[in-house]
């Protein structure tokens, strides 16, 4: 274990009427204990799980690759400032790590390809294959398999996005093995009931205010998938 606790400072938020400071879960929570190598943030779209994940990564000094800038219709000056109003408690001092998001992975893969054009040996860190030449799912597993061998604190934002159910199980096996090995700790925001099934993991629901730990079978993700698979006709009846 590297990171023991996250502390939010809602009394210091600069604007309670703008995102992310107006999110109930982030406004009502003060501490999030991290007691297991695997911690998941779950919740509906807009619940703040990805925002919280990114803020903790920034607060821990983890570099976040950015994709090409796009013009915004409305600029929110507070959008990326949550990390300024939180603290973290380390177990034995800070450690390096990584931040993964499917939306910026392509940028990372292209930059790696450019470096490898002059130094092909760089590809040995990703199974010896170009990340660009593989399918999206295959390149992700190559990246995960190489990166998480390293000691550190690793953040993943919805890694299931480009993975088939079978590859989600492969990722689950990898993460669980790396967590048990003791050198890596993971914080993950996800909608995947497959990843959420990780043995021994801690699940936090951002649909609750304050944020609360929740059992796997109590998550809406598990319940909805379970009920749908048991009786899809119940959900499809309204489409006929």
Q: What is the pLDDT of residues 209-218, one digit of tens each?
A: 999 999 999 9
Residue 41 pairs in a beta bridge with 189, 204
CA 3 to chain CA centroid, Å, is 15
Per-residue model confidence (pLDDT) at position 205 = 97
- To the nearest whole percent, how much of the chain has pLDDT over 90? 60
Least confident of 19-23, 26-30, 45-49, 143-147: 143-147
Number of domains present in the structure of the chain: 1
Residue in 15, 47, 53 with CA at minimum distance from that of residue 34 = 53
pLDDT the model gives residue 48:
92
**Residue 71 in domain:** no
At residue 210, the pLDDT reads: 96
Starting at the edge strand that comes first in sequence, how are the strands of the sheet with 3-8 ordered?
A: 31-33, 3-8, 86-90
Q: What are phi and psi of 57, to 5 degrees?
A: -60, -45
* DSSP per position, 66-118: -------SS--TTTT-GGGGEEEEESSS---EEEEEHHHHHHHHHHHHHHHHH
- Whole-angstrom distance, CA of residue 211 vs CA of residue 50: 14
Q: Which helix (H) or strand (E) holds 156?
A: strand 152-157
Q: Who has greater pLDDT, 234 or 128? A: 234
Name the residue range of residue 230's domain. Answer: 3-65+79-103+153-239
CA atoms within 13 A on the CB side of 3: 30
- Of residues 151 and 60, more confidence is placed in 60
- What was the pLDDT predicted at 127? 61
Residue 144 included in any domain? no
- 126 occurs within a structural domain: no
Task: Flag whether 122 is in a domain.
Answer: no
Query: What's the CATH code of the domain at 194?
Result: 3.40.50.300
Higher pLDDT, 158 or 68: 158
Express each pLDDT in 107-164 by its tens digit. 666 666 665 566 666 566 566 666 555 565 676 777 788 778 888 999 999 999 878 9
Q: Give the pLDDT score at 156.
A: 94
Q: Is residue 201 part of a domain?
A: yes
Distance CA 236, CA 240 (A): 7
pLDDT in tens, 87-102: 999 999 999 999 988 7
Helix axes 165-181, 136-147, angle to 10 degrees: 0
CA distance 18 to 27: 11
């Amino acid at each position: 274990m590297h990171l023991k606790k996250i502390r939010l400072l809602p009394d210091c938020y600069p604007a309670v009427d703008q995102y992310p400071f107006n999110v109930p879960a982030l406004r009502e929570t003060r501490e999030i204990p991290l007691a297991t190598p695997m911690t998941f943030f779950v919740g509906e779209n807009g619940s703040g799980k990805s925002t919280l994940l990114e803020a903790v990564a920034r607060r821990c000094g983890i570099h976040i690759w950015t994709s090409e800038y796009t013009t915004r219709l409305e600029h929110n000056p507070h959008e990326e400032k949550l990390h300024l109003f939180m603290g973290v408690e380390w177990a034995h001092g800070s450690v390096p790590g990584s931040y993964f998001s499917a939306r910026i992975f392509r940028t990372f893969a292209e930059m790696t390809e450019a470096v490898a054009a002059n130094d092909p040996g760089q590809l040995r860190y990703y199974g010896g294959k170009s990340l660009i030449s593989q399918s999206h799912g295959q390149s992700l597993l190559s990246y995960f398999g190489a990166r998480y061998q390293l000691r550190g604190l690793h953040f993943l934002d919805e890694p299931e996005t480009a993975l088939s159910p079978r590859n989600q199980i492969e990722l689950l096996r990898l993460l669980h093995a790396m967590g048990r090995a003791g050198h890596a700790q993971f914080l993950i925001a996800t909608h995947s009931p497959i990843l959420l099934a990780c043995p021994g993991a801690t699940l936090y629901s951002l649909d609750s205010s304050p944020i609360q730990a929740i059992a796997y079978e109590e998550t809406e993700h598990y319940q909805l998938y379970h009920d749908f698979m048991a009786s899809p006709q119940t959900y499809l009846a309204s489409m006929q």
